[in-house]
Structure 1
């Protein structure tokens, strides 16, 4: 039985990677989808895959760093569906210049707006629907960089993703009385297009050992299908072949 039949899910960063995987798995569970990303063409491709599975998906491209564009999607969801049950707050970005020695004010602004401000904008759109329903789940993609400080992801990305973790916990603190649940997912290394921004390129063999987008998508589906009286506040998902652990082991030899 489709566990999300009659539910509406808004997935951001839905054109590829984790967002695409989550969208397809939520569609398998019967959810009607709203797909958002910057570029229409990848979203249309995902919508076609959803349709091929017998699901429905509305394409709503937007730059989520623009609060007006986020509000417009909220208005669309209200007019088209009149409800919102699931927000997969997945859109995010990183940049190649990461160290303080090369980081600019423009880069900092892009990182904070692209990872934290945009996520908060989407929450402000989702919560009124969910409060009215006395039900809803928000699932935010942070990162292990949102818990562990290291030079790998860069200071701007790390600080913004820490903010996403804090944001999610504050939602539970305030909105639990309204039946609203917020979960922040902290992936380790995931083989997604964002890795193309790394200064040092990774091999096919290295990518194959990482968490895959489908692994995280399946976790998001699990969280979305939990009963209303349960919330997973925070969850880590990392590769078994954890390169940070292995580096630490080798450093001790």
Structure 2
């Protein structure tokens, strides 16, 4: 076995993936399982999780499912308690669950921003907070990978800024908590992967946009890259686009 293969192995590690039922989440779960990680899969829809878990198990992997809504009171606490109870530890959290929404400020009420912040920013923060506590209890290190967007760096659409606001905020939290983990002397690394447009069901884009879209598997590979970086290497913030000048 080469040194590269050893570096890539996640045997004995436990990864929790939110929004795992489809798209980036499902692709990431498969990629982590292929490298030996045990999986905890969560999304709001149990019917989407069970076939993926069965697929991972059939390939020789380990997968547990915990269905629920991350913005519902008490669910995040239950999710991490179940992760510890069933698999005993947590090494990787992939904060993938989220939603999109755009529109001119005249059409977007403040309540729409509030709702999107709950899922795109506050829920990942709650999961990150619970993950750090669990990682500190059960291992000497760990990796959190937050799924952001290129719109965490620039706002392509203009308009109300609804979606970019949630991803800018997530990036700020990522950078701040990463600095705290370093200052605390932990081995926990907080990372963010910022994809451009991705070919998933969350965005109903016209066929002519397809050349500018990433496959979910490409984003998954970027997540694995961050999660398998060797000790001392922190893949802090990664922008991933299908083409260098794609309009995202």
Query: Normalising by structure 2, what TM-score?
Result: 0.91
Q: CA deviation at 1:49?
A: 1.8
Q: CA deviation at 1:127?
A: 0.5
Distance 2:85 2:53 in 1: 20
Count of residues paired in the alignment: 239
Distance 2:127 2:64 in 1: 17
Q: CA deviation at 1:98?
A: 2.2
Structure 2 residue aligned with 1:251:
none
Is 2:50 the partner of 1:44? Answer: yes
Q: Given that residues 9 and 88 in structure 1 are in contact (C-alpha distance below 8 angstroms), is that contact kept between their aligned partners in structure 2?
A: yes
Structure 1 residue aligned with 2:151:
145
Structure 1 residue aligned with 2:187:
179
Distance 1:153 1:120 in 2: 26
Distance 2:153 2:238 in 1: 11
Q: CA deviation at 1:142?
A: 0.3
Structure 1 residue aligned with 2:201:
193
Is 2:16 the partner of 1:13? Answer: no
1:36/1:120 CA distance change after superposition, 3 Å: same
Q: Please list, as runs of the form range in 1=range in 2, the aligned pairs for 1:93-172 lying within 5 A after superposition.
A: 93-95=99-101, 98-132=103-137, 133-151=139-157, 155-172=161-178
Structure 1 residue aligned with 2:66:
60
Give the secondary structure class of the aligned counterpart of 1:137. Answer: strand
Distance 1:236 1:67 in 2: 32
Q: Given that residues 146 and 186 in structure 1 are in contact (C-alpha distance below 8 angstroms), is that contact kept between their aligned partners in structure 2?
A: yes
Give the secondary structure class of the aligned counterpart of 1:127. Answer: helix
Give the secondary structure class of the aligned counterpart of 1:61. Answer: coil
Instruction: Structure 2 unaligned segments of length 5 or more: list them.
Output: none
Instruction: Structure 1 unaligned segments of length 5 or more: list them.
Output: 246-253
Q: CA deviation at 1:122?
A: 0.5
Q: Which moved more, 1:97-106 or 1:161-170?
A: 97-106
Structure 2 residue aligned with 1:249:
none
Query: Normalising by structure 1, what TM-score?
Result: 0.89
Is 2:214 the partner of 1:237? Answer: no
Distance 1:212 1:153 in 2: 26
Q: CA deviation at 1:228?
A: 2.4
Give the secondary structure class of the aligned counterpart of 2:235. Answer: coil
Distance 1:225 1:125 in 2: 21
Q: CA deviation at 1:153?
A: 8.1
Q: CA deviation at 1:241?
A: 6.6
1:108/1:209 CA distance change after superposition, 3 Å: closer
Per-residue Cα deviation, 1:13-65 (whole angstroms, up to 9, x for no partner): 10111111100000000000000111011111211221222111101111111
